[in-house]
Amino acid sequence: MESVKSKSYEVHINELAQAALNQHISKSDYSRIFLLVDENTKAHCLPIFKKMMDAPIDSLLEIKSGEENKHIHTCLQLWQDLSNLDGDRKSLLINLGGGVLTDMGGFVASTFKRGIDFINIPTTLLSMVDASIGGKTGVDLGSLKNQIGVINQPQMVLVFPEFLATLDPRQTKSGYAEMLKHGLIQDREYWNDLNQKGDFTDASCIQKSIAIKNKVVLEDPTEQGLRKILNFGHTLGHAIESYCLDNPNKKTLLHGEAIAAGMILEGYLSHELRGLSKLSLDEIKKGFLRHFDPVDFAPDDIESILQLLKYDKKNSHGNVNFVLLQEIGNAVTDIKIPEELFHKAFAYYRE
Amino acid sequence: MESVKSKSYEVHINELAQAALNQHISKSDYSRIFLLVDENTKAHCLPIFKKMMDAPIDSLLEIKSGEENKHIHTCLQLWQDLSNLDGDRKSLLINLGGGVLTDMGGFVASTFKRGIDFINIPTTLLSMVDASIGGKTGVDLGSLKNQIGVINQPQMVLVFPEFLATLDPRQTKSGYAEMLKHGLIQDREYWNDLNQKGDFTDASCIQKSIAIKNKVVLEDPTEQGLRKILNFGHTLGHAIESYCLDNPNKKTLLHGEAIAAGMILEGYLSHELRGLSKLSLDEIKKGFLRHFDPVDFAPDDIESILQLLKYDKKNSHGNVNFVLLQEIGNAVTDIKIPEELFHKAFAYYRE
């Protein structure tokens, strides 16, 4: 499977990934190699990964899985661990886990002694197709997602689809949402392909999604224009995700589950404001509901979610800007939404 | 006074600084302007600064002064303040204070929503001549200085020497140490000039020091080689500073006071290992002791300081690398020191 070349690093998949890792380490003069895992990747991925590595791992760092642990106090523990374990500026941190772990491990590496090298090995489908590209690192601030972080690139990203077999199927399906998004914003044909498949975990789908995201990020690394299209479904999706995480009465949603709802809702806004056809809108709703159970939104929930919108980090000057679709495969950015349309969107979602 | 051009920004001094600030703000489309102060700059500098600014300040953020507050929990408070006060990605943070405040404010800005613009207005001599150039931001981890941070450049740095009149003279003298260092590592003539002056606070000295540091940083922005010479006196100096900060029985030293001792000690190492003449060594000791009281090092103190050395962030592979002088104005990097010389250096210091 061909590697995907990003600006300063490559994403290697399967057979090439192992070779690239060992070659990089043997040519680099790292003083210590740290491996960051959570309880899940420690149990299921670490035994496989250890066999792939020629060099020994000097120290294992462990954090608890889950978005609720993606905050600065976990970082503080990791910085202290790195310091106590004689981490220095020539140390390497390998992040073996899902997006929460690679976002947080990337941030810790980017800020430890003003930046050490790191390599990301995403182990969930979502992190393979999404967090693997773009250099976003960071943690949440209370219930506000990714408020603290930097943009910084790993040395390389290694994708081993075999790790997906170790996952809860719900986790894997969560990744389908970002893959479907890649089709919706850039590639009608890929959207069609995915909708004819039951399973998106083969290396060719993963590579296609990585390649789409990479193309977008390379054209606009600092998110001045095109890159914003990657936020399709995320403005409402993030608010939904934060709200459910913070509210003990709501089932916590995985990221993909939240943005799947977000994409149906923002698909509706696209229909109202940018001429997305009703046929395409219904196709989008059907495409997501095939994989994701509908979320139950009570009127109070909707009000709270709309309140949270104003904190979304993409907001500027107090306005909420949306990415909408003109058609499947073609997105536009910076659209303002009249307040009353949000309620109509939720009504369409619940139909 | 001529501005100093760094890679991506300029350091403006006096009359040009006010104009540059107002021009930058009027041409930028900032959503909100935040000003970070501590209790000292709030009382003494803010009234002066407010008159300089054409645009209104939207929100004032305040932290407590002092290295002991330069940690991640202060950052957490600032991130939360920015978030609660509707800070967004188009916000500007102006840091009005000494090096602790500009290092920490720079880090908070660099990591809030993955980076917002910031402007540094150093109010101490030390921060004018040192922290103003190089883009180092960060906070301490326990007693270990600057362990957490990033390299990121401000939009501009504004230097108003009139702020120095508001300072405790001990604070101002602390800045002399870095200025003397600039002479020692790069410019014999500047060292001579300074040693003929009683007061280093005029704009021409400040500009000369900024220009020397800027030249070094521009030649080696990522600290692969030349830039390391800026660490002269800092390897032992940082360990001394950390030790005194952490030890309730020792008087807390200002940064300049600690590195002044560090430079005498590393001057001795230079004499032993790199042929710095005894005459120059004595001249260095005299040059610093003219401004800085000798620090009282007991044998136990020395042992603890040497222990701390191994944590210095410049260390790599467990070795401690020193910058030494071949002669005044000419520094060399990456020198390893035989253990026993440290004790001889402290003996020379105490002579």
- CA distances to A51, A148, B89, B102 from B82, rounded to whole Å, are 46, 11, 11, 16
Mean pLDDT of chain A: 93
State the DSSP code for A98. Answer: S
Query: What percent of chain B is modeled with pLDDT above 70?
Result: 97
Using a CB-CB cut-off of 8 Å, the residues of chain B touching A91 are: none
Which of B79, B141, B311 has the CB atom closest to A148's CB atom? B79
Would you list which residues of chain A are within 8 Å, Cβ to Cβ, of chain B?
A: 31, 72, 75-76, 79-80, 83, 86, 88-90, 110-115, 136, 138, 141-142, 144, 146-152, 310-311, 313-318
pLDDT at position A315, please? 52
Q: First vs last Cα of chain A: how many Å apart?
A: 42
- In a mutational test of the B interface, the residue from A88, A104, A230 whose CB has the highest number of chain B CBs within 10 Å is A88
Chain A neighbors of B83, CB-CB under 8 A = 141-142, 144, 147, 311
Q: What is the dihedral of CA A309, A311, A314, A319, to 10 degrees?
A: 70
pLDDT of residue B315: 53
Flag if B114 and A150 touch (Cβ within 8 Å). Answer: yes
What is the structure's pLDDT at B131?
A: 84
Question: How far apart are alpha carbons B122 and B158 in whole angstroms?
Answer: 7
Does pLDDT of A270 surpass 60? Answer: yes
Q: Which residue has the tokens 């104009």?
A: B19
User: CB neighbours of B336 closer than 8 A, spacing ≥ 6?
Assistant: B319, B320, B321, B322
Dump pLDDT digits (tens) for A186-229. 999 999 999 999 899 999 999 999 999 999 999 987 777 899 99
Contact A317 B31 (CB under 8 A): yes
pLDDT (0 to 100) of residue A195: 96
Q: Distance (Å, rounded) from C-alpha B67 to C-alpha A184?
A: 51
Whole-number Å distance between alpha carbons of B248 and A203: 59
pLDDT at A126 over 80: yes
Residue-wise over A192-231: b if at least 16 C-beta within 10 A, else e?
A: eebeeeeebbebebbbbbbbbbbbbbeeebebeebbbbbb
Confidence of residue B317 (pLDDT cuts 50, 70, 90): low
Both tokens assigned to B153 = 């450049």
pLDDT at B76 over 70: yes
Give the side-chain half-sphere CA count within 13 A for A65.
16
Candidate from A28-37, B6-15, B119-128 with smallest mean pLDDT: B6-15
The helix/strand/coil state of A11 is: strand
* Residue count of chain B: 351
Bridge-based pairing state of the strands A117-122 and A10-13: unpaired
In chain B, the domains with their CATH numbers are: 4-166 (3.40.50.1970), 171-350 (1.20.1090.10)
Q: Are the beta carbons of B66 and B171 closer than 8 angstroms?
A: no
CA of B203 vs chain A CAs: smallest distance (Å) = 31
Amino acid (1-letter code) at residue A129: V
* Helices assigned H by DSSP within chain B: 15-27, 39-44, 46-52, 72-84, 99-111, 125-126, 169-186, 188-195, 203-219, 234-246, 255-274, 278-289, 299-309, 339-350
State whether B83 and A110 contact (CB < 8 Å): no
Q: Judge contact between A321 and B88, C-beta under 8 A.
A: no
What residue in A sits closest to B151 (Cα-Cα)? A114
Cα dihedral B38, B44, B48, B49 in deg (nearest 10): -10
Letter string b/e over residues B289-312, b meaning 16 or more CB atoms within 10 A of that residue's CB = eebbeebebeeebbebbbebbebb
Structure tokens at B208: 């000369």
pLDDT band at B246 (very low <50, low <70, confident <90, very high): confident
Q: Which of A28, A31, A77, A113 to mutate to test the interface with B (most CBs of B within 10 A)?
A: A113
Asked if the model's pLDDT at residue B311 lies above 80, the reply is: no
pLDDT band per the 50, 70, 90 thresholds, residue B319: low
Contacts of B114 in chain A (CB under 8 A): 136, 138, 146, 149-151, 313
| B31 → chain A, closest CA residue | A317
Cβ distance B313 to A89 less than 8 Å, yes or no, reads yes
Reply yes or no on whether the pLDDT at B172 is more than 70. Answer: yes
Do the strands A10-13 and A4-5 form a parallel or antiparallel pair, or are they unpaired? antiparallel
The complex's ipTM works out to 0.85
pLDDT the model gives residue A131: 84
Cβ-contact A37, A97 below 8 angstroms = yes
d(CA A170, CA A187): 25
Q: How many residues does chain A have?
A: 351
Question: Quick check: A275 and A326 in contact, CB under 8 A?
Answer: yes
Q: In degrees rounded to 5, what are phi and psi of residue A97? A: 175, -170
The rounded distance, in Å, linking the Cα atoms of B196 and B219 is: 30
Q: How confident is the model at residue A318 (pLDDT cuts 50, 70, 90)?
A: low
Statement: residue A148 has pLDDT above 70: yes
Interface residue of B88, B92, B307 to substitute, partner A, most A CBs within 10 Å: B88
d(CA A96, CA A105): 9
Phi, psi (5° rounding) for residue B60? -100, 130
Q: Which of the residues B78, B111, B141 would you substitute to probe the A interface, choosing the one with the greatest number of A C-beta atoms within 10 Å?
A: B111
pLDDT at B312 over 60: no
Q: Report, as an integer, the average pLDDT of A95-103.
A: 96
Q: Is the pLDDT of residue B310 over 90?
A: no
> Do the Cβ atoms of A82 and A112 come closer than 8 Å?
yes
Residue A85 has pLDDT above 80, yes or no: yes
Tell me the per-residue pLDDT of B214-245, one tens digit each, with 9 for 90 and over: 999 999 877 778 999 999 999 999 999 989 98
